[in-house]
Amino acid sequence: MAGLAWKQAPQGGSSGEDNMHTPTYHSTIVLEQEALNPGDEAAPGTPGSGENVCGHCRARGIMEDGRACPMCGGTGIVTAGIGGG
């Protein structure tokens, strides 16, 4: 997200500075990307996709042997395409 901030210029001094406002630009870019699991059909937030239960572990997040499900990463949820076309 980029933003614009205004900073007041210092007052006083013999140079005749007045109380003008000087723009100071600040920008912050935050990139967060969730890792995709093998069972995901799309990245989270992709238009036309949504959360669905993992069919590999039947939404439990763990396999019969107690290990985390390799398809959903242990969450029991995958990102799947919705709708048709």
- Tell me: pLDDT of 1 over 60: no
- Over residues 28-65, the pLDDT tens digits come to 555 556 689 999 999 988 999 999 999 999 999 999 99
Q: Rounded mean pLDDT of the chain?
A: 77
Q: What is the pLDDT of residue 3?
A: 44
Q: What is the pLDDT of residue 4?
A: 46
Contact 79, 53 (CB under 8 A): no
What is the model's pTM? 0.56
Separation of alpha carbons 65 and 53, rounded Å: 20
In the predicted model, is pLDDT for residue 66 greater than 50? yes
